[in-house]
A and B are shown apart, each in its own frame.
Chain A
Amino acid sequence: MACTCDTSKVETNEATIARVDAIIDRIGKTRDIVIPLLQALQQEFSYLSSTAVERIYEQTEIDRAQLISVSTFYSQFRHIPYGKHLIKVCTGTACHVKGAGNVYDSFIRELKIENGSITTEDKLFSIEKIACLGCCTLAPVVQIDEKIYGHVLPGKVNEVIEDFLLLQGNIEKEETAHARRKIAGEIRLGMGSCCQASGSSDIYKELLSASAQLGIQVNIKPVGCVGVCNKVPLIDVVLPDGSITRYPKVKASEIKEILHHHFKPAGYLNRLKNNFLNHVDTIHTDVTWDNVIWKSEHERTGVIDTFLTGQKHISTEGFGFLAPLHIDEYIAHSGFDALKKVLSCDRKEIISTILKSGIRGRGGGGFTTGKKWEIVASSLNKDKYVICNGDEGDPGAFMDRMMLESYPYRVIEGMIIAGYAVGANNGIFYIRAEYPLAVTRIRAALQFCREHNLIGEHIAGSNFSFDVSIFEGAGAFVCGEETALIASIEGERGFPKQRPPYPAVEGLHGKPTLVNNVETLSQIAYIINNGSDQYSQIGTKGSKGTKVFALAGKIRFGGLIEVPMGITLNQIINDIGGGVDGGEKLKAVQIGGPSGGCIPAHLCDVQVDFDAFNQMGAMMGSGGLVVLSESDCMVDMARYFLSFTCDQSCGKCTFCRVGIRRMLDILEKLCSGKAEMADIDTLEQLALNVKKASLCGLGKTAPNPVLTTLKYFREEYEEHVKGICKTGTCKGMIKYVVTDDCIGCTRCAKACPVDAIPYTPYEVHTIDTDKCVLCGLCVNECKYDAIHKVPLRSI
């Protein structure tokens, strides 16, 4: 039932079955392991083949009903074979506002994928849209297999494909290992997912090979996310005297020069050194030398310094210098001190410290963390669980991924402390399957912790035992909701359950379960180490501590930031982010992703605060912060988020399943200019009632993007009814025209993917609006600014 076709005829059925059996032996046969089992099968066979699925029915307790129900619920599972390479086009918020839709269409055209298929005829490529790759600062982003391409323009997709195929052809040269003598000083290089996406792996390889070639034996240290995503790849050169020189946006070709500049191979002519360096500094500031662009001192570090001032690092303490998996280094920087401190404390005392600190859950709802701990701790049940919720699914948010990748020990420490405080002996990391690096790092970190007796039996010589396992989510936004998350660990569809009973009382396998977000747990060690007073001094009356945001969209310097609560949105945008990109005017800030709302520019002096955001109809959410400029259409924004929640709704209750779809119908009508004034009222009424009567958090917050835009930008909805989209975003209401500035250079005609511009050299070009797909390639191509987007109807 799950699959009907099987193209792998090369292998005999017996061989396939043997492989399936081996997996079943390894993973298990019970109903609750269905998700890990299917994940393992898919990894082995690249999709869930009918042979494999039939074998599951025969060999395990899993029946047809359960398997179909689960495998079609989670978007990770495939029922048809895919092409050799998978192209994932990110459609996260940041990518959406920067034209991800056009990029996807371009791939479809370029690869000649037709008739609603997703795979090319030669089975070389398959393509799919993905909610968010978490590389928002490189938007629009495309991932082909493991390789990530940032800033992909619709006109450049052919180059991306070529580059990828070329890369496949070159078998990577083996690195020569060199025994390295340590010399003072080191080079630090950010190696988070997004850094790697912008090429830091290449830089790392180049650093290794260049240092080997030059005979410079310097410690090259990959560190976690630096947060300065707008300037990556970023390397810090730490000199023997401890001074740091930063190189943002480094290219592989520049590495040799940088190494040369700072480190001299042993036996190098010392007497020349000073002289030479002085020369280099005077000559090579702001000039090109050997293809290396040396930026002036201020330009090099000024921006980053501005970006980092105003931030406060609690969750991201140790950013930029801690190697993610280096446990001794973490311990040397007072890591696990908090854990050792609590192990000798009374449990009630710890909980009261957390309560007093005023910390609230960072997952979105903002429930007081200490309260939750108290409820779980008060249960007399001997079996309790702590779950770290890392199912970060918001398009436009990647804080949790960064923290799991870069500060695994900090999150683990927070989890063990929580476990001790509430009296649980089992911890589970629930991490999205889309975050492979995070899973790898946590797995490795847990192993190191085990070796150091920080998890397992009698932790650090105490009476407390705590073990931690990892559960990989299979791709469902709704599993961020704690009851749905628990259902999915139990091997069911991610259907939320009616609360009460809350998971804190009756959760996983019916036992009291503490579910805390990654970011919440990463703040715990700070509170224990520094005391609740110091923590509660940071922030506002109702919101304490710091909050990590993913700053993206139309902003000059995007990235991952950690700011104290109480900072205003304007401060974040102007002081940290350097203002709106391209000098445009700020229109609104979308905060909280699909559960949040749009806060208009004139209200952006609001402080970062759970309650203040709620009052405005937005929500802290998990912390995506997308800056929107005058050229962004708010109706389209609302439509975008609704299409996301419509796709991610679990389908259990009427208002979320059908209500959101009907709202989306109306928004689609609006965006294509076919709506009537009455539709706006219908939309509003529906939105209010979906908010009221949906059963879980997803449905209750899904209307927020619509309600806030209706509240602050109603006139835009009314304009859309009249057939006008001032920003030119809604494709049904615009056309492209060529002005008299055109000199007939034919660049646009060559660029047009659908031949809507006839090839007429030296004549003013024309655009056939019937053929035009409004991809905007011609606009990018035109050197004379002669192609304009104009509304179909006059304003």
Chain B
Amino acid sequence: MVITIDHESVEVFSGETILEVARRTGHAIPSLCYAKESVHKSSCMVCAVKNCDNGQIIPSCTTLPTEGMHVETDSEEVRLIRSLSLELLLSDHRADCDAPCIMVCPQGLNIERMLHYYDGGHFGEAYRVLDAAFLLPQIACDTCKAPCEKVCRRGSIDQPVSIRTIIREIAAKAYPTSPEAGKKGWKLDKNRFQSRIGRFTEKESALLKATIHTSSNCLHCTCAGQTGCKLRLFATEAGIKRSRYESYSALPAMQKIQVSGKLWFEQAKCIRCGLCVYNSEDGFTFKGRGFGMQVVIPDESKNNMEEEMAELCPTGALYILEK
């Protein structure tokens, strides 16, 4: 079978969807809810293309081509649909990509990462993060007005994390024993899309205050699943700065639950594509419908889930957390 993609004739192999043909022949089409070799059912519409024969916008990930079909993957109209679908998804996405403290640190210290090691008792690792940003970690923040503490989300709940005090503590504790200091590398890429969590509701504040007791008090706003996050990748590519719709979202911010082993789930980052639902047996499931539809995991079914599930998730909703 032969079809036309963006005025170019291409051969279709048996069973291929439009998305698969296009990608194989060098036409880049973004997609979130598609996963090769797994059950997937169109949901996100980020892979939208136009069927020029009838003018319809179709999801390329599940549509099978028909003989002589003419498809458009890169027109103004298609790009608008794609970026709109991303914007809509992001308007119901209550999460930070990077923690606010990191964003404002004039030295580019990955504060959240450092606090992650600190909370886990790994002072050496924490020191290494510190050392990557400062020449002299011991006096690192002495002259700084600490914007990090001013923007700290914990501050909106009770007290901001005492970042400078903790830095001094790490420096003092770890310096003599820390090996291989001076490994540079991490740098915040400010060109990437940044999702923002927005204000906590009163209920959320109360819940977070009551439940999060790390030794640093840090909420760990940075998305732990951001390495494989396609949502951020395509939002950046589409040049989206922030969603243009005022966020009203019913999703509970920062409710992170341990599914099994290192597998964690944070609902506020879920785009309800259903990949984890369709590809698990008696595990993740949908609850409710419409805008209020959620993906949930009943406590009794958590053990049915394998850590590999995180690879399917197109966002940071399902992630592996190394302690």
Residues of A at under 8 Å CB distance from B? 1, 63-66, 68-69, 72-73, 476, 493, 495, 497-498, 500, 646-655, 657-662, 665, 682, 686, 689, 692-693, 695
Contact = CB atoms under 8 A, between A and B. Distances in A.
Contacts of B197: none
A658 B287 CA distance: 16
Given A1-B300, A64-B301, A665 B246 contact: yes
Nearest to A648: B290
B245 A654 contact: no
Contacts of A72: 286-289
B45 interface: yes
Nearest to A660: B291
Given A1-B298, A662-B245, A692 B57 contact: yes
11 contacts: A498-B62, A500-B64, A652-B42, A654-B43, A654-B85, A657-B290, A658-B291, A661-B291, A662-B91, A665-B246, A682-B245
B237 to A, nearest CB: 17
Given A653-B43, A654-B46, A693-B48, 18 more contacts: A1-B299, A64-B282, A69-B286, A69-B287, A72-B289, A73-B289, A498-B41, A646-B291, A650-B289, A651-B272, A651-B291, A652-B274, A654-B43, A654-B89, A654-B271, A657-B290, A658-B291, A695-B59
Contacts of B281: 63, 65
Contacts of A689: 80-81, 84
A436 B300 CA distance: 36
B248 interface: yes
A649 B89 contact: no
Nearest to B92: A658
Contacts of A63: 281-282
Contacts of A662: 88, 91, 245
B133 interface: no
B287 A68 contact: yes
B201 interface: no
Contacts of B246: 665
B293 interface: yes
Interface string B291-308: 111001011110000000
A658 B286 contact: no
Contacts of A661: 92, 248, 290-291
B277 interface: yes
B291 A493 contact: no
Interface in B144-171: none
B43 A647 contact: no
B272 A657 contact: yes
A497 B40 CA distance: 12
Contacts of A649: 289-291
B300 A657 contact: no
Contacts of A653: 42-45
Contacts of A693: 45, 48, 57, 81, 84-85
B285 A64 contact: yes
Contacts of B84: 655, 686, 689, 693
A659 B248 CA distance: 12
B161 to A, nearest CB: 33
A173 B115 CA distance: 77
Nearest to A658: B88
Given A69-B286, A692-B81, A64 B245 contact: no
Contacts of B48: 693
Contacts of B291: 646, 649, 651, 657-658, 660-661
Given A65-B283, A662-B88, A650 B290 contact: yes
A393 to B, nearest CB: 13
Nearest to B272: A651
A68 B45 contact: no
Contacts of A1: 298-300
A711 B289 CA distance: 30
Contacts of B293: 650-651, 657
A215 B260 CA distance: 79
Contacts of A648: 289-290
A500 B282 CA distance: 29
A498 B19 CA distance: 15
Nearest to B300: A64
B193 interface: no
Interface in B37-57: 41-46, 48, 57
